[in-house]
Amino acid sequence: MTGTASGTIPAAELLQAYRTMRTIRDFEERVYKEFQTGQMPGFVHLYAGEEAVATGVCDVLTPADYIASTHRGHGHAIAKGCDVVAMMAELYGKATGTCKGKGGSMHIADLSTGMLGANGIVGGGPPLVCGVGLSAKVRGTDQVGVSFTGDGGSNQGTFLESLNFAAAMNLPVVFVVENNGYAESTASSFHQSGIDVAKRADGFGLPGVVVDGQDYFAVREAAAEAVGRARAGGGPSLIECKTIRYFGHFIGDQQKYRAPNEVADAREHRDPLKNFRARVTRAGVATDEQLDAIDAEVAELIDRAVAQAQAAPFPAPESALEDVYVSY
């Protein structure tokens, strides 16, 4: 492979990484389309464009590691191994959904895969992964907790508190900032004064790096280093991934705050899947035929997920009363 440490990644893992990114992309493009039909309820925030971040990070985690996600959480859930068919059903609010229709897009969680939840509260996740880190440390496991936070979330007190907390307590935690340029509609050039979020790590005495979030290999290399350091007892790290959101903050956002050709330009020149395909085919690690086959399989999976979600029953109304407590 060209560049970075990617030369050591086995071909099977690269094909899987492509499959994950393609699954995220197709899931999101399809959700966008299905949402327009009016059958899908709620607020939906799409991850398309940022696939290399979730995939590059989660590919260096084990199933026993945990992630805490954001309101834009579908990509993280898919990358951490949540079942795509159940996720689609959850978006439709169906009984077969990941959370039995109780969570929806913003609360998809599956602790059996280490997915500690998408999160409707901006900045909600970083303190939670400090808990994962403390749990691993006290129980003597080598698990790691990773939080994803947007550039908007990086201005929350919880994020900054957690950087200090994890550093002071030497917790096995990695803070990933997905800087997609906008906190909702507010540009990061304004809300961060144009300074990299990664520089904030310096103030808390932990390593911070900036990587190209459209480059799977760059993200994966940085994540491998940070996760490895955490696992070995070296404490927390911060990774800022510069990335691009292909859709609005939510489905329905008119995005008048963006340049007219901003997204089209990114789709053409900075697309993580195109970038990945070019790299692996040029290096001879995978062929276009192999990747095309994955595209077809993923398209079939997403078709099936939508069909099953639409056909699935809604939860029984009285199930609204269940699962508030373990016992009460």
Partner 1 sequence: MTRTITYQKAINEAIQQEMAADPTVVLFGEDVAGGEGSATGEDDAWGGVLGVTKGLKKQFPDRILDTPLSESAIMGTAAGAAASGLKPIAELMFIDFLGVCFDQIYNQAAKFRYMFGGKAETPMVIRTMYGAGMNAAAQHSQALYPIFTHIPGLKVVLPSNPYDAKGLLIEAIRDRDPVIFCEHKMLYTMKGEVPQEPYTVPFGVANVVQSGDDVTVVALGQMVGFAQKAIAKLDGVSVELIDPRTTSPFDEEAVLRSVEKTGRLVVVDESSPRCGMAADIASLVATKGFDFLKAPIVNVTPPHTPVPFAAPLERYYLPSPDRIAAAINQLAATKERL
- Taking CA 8 as the corner, what is the angle to CA 175 and CA 298, rounded to the nearest 5 degrees? 70
Q: Give the integer Cα–Cα distance in Å for 73 and 162.
A: 20
Q: Which amino acid is at 178?
A: E
Applying CB under 8 A, does 316 fall inside the site for partner 1? no
172 in Cβ contact with 144 (< 8 Å) = yes
Amino acid identity at 129? V
Q: Is 87 one of the binding residues for partner 1 (CB under 8 A)? A: no
| Burial class (CB within 10 angstroms; exposed 0-12, middle 13-18, buried 19+) of 114 | buried
- Comparing CB distances to partner 1, the nearer of 79 and 82 is 82
Output 132 or 298, the one with its CB closest to partner 1. 132
Give the nearer residue to partner 1 in terms of CB position, either 135 or 308: 135
CB of 9 to partner 1, least distance (A): 28
| Chain residues 204-263 in contact with partner 1, contact rule CB under 8 A | none
The CA distance from 262 to 67, in Å, is: 30
In the complex, least distance from residue 92 CB atom to partner 1, rounded to whole angstroms: 14
Tell whether residue 175 is a contact of partner 1 (CB under 8 A). no
Binding mask 100-139 for partner 1 (x = CB under 8 A): xxxx---x-xxxx---xx-xxx--x-xxxxxxx-xxx-xx
For 311, residues 6+ apart whose C-beta sits below 8 A from its C-beta are none
In the complex with partner 1, the residue whose CB is nearer, 105 or 243, is 105
Q: Are strands 237-242 and 182-183 parallel, antiparallel or unpaired?
A: unpaired
Choose which of 73, 93, 97, 248 interacts with partner 1 (CB under 8 A): 97
Report angle CA 321, 322, 327 to the nearest 5 degrees: 115
318 near partner 1, rule: CB under 8 A: no
Per rule CB under 8 A, count of chain residues that contact partner 1:
49
177 closest CA partner among 133, 122, 232: 122
Amino acid identity, position 88: M
The pair of three-digit structure tokens given for residue 22, joined into one six-digit string: 């393609």
Part in contact with partner 1 (CB under 8 A); list of ranges 19-27, 45-53, 165-173, 175-183: 165-173
Would you say 201 and 207 are in contact if contact means Cβ atoms under 8 Å apart? yes
CB of 267 to partner 1, least distance (A): 33
The nearer residue to partner 1, 79 or 108, going by C-beta atoms, is 108
Give the footprint of partner 1 on this chain (CB under 8 A). Answer: 66, 68, 97-103, 107, 109-112, 116-117, 119-121, 124, 126-132, 134-136, 138-139, 143, 145, 157-158, 161-162, 164-165, 168-169, 322-328
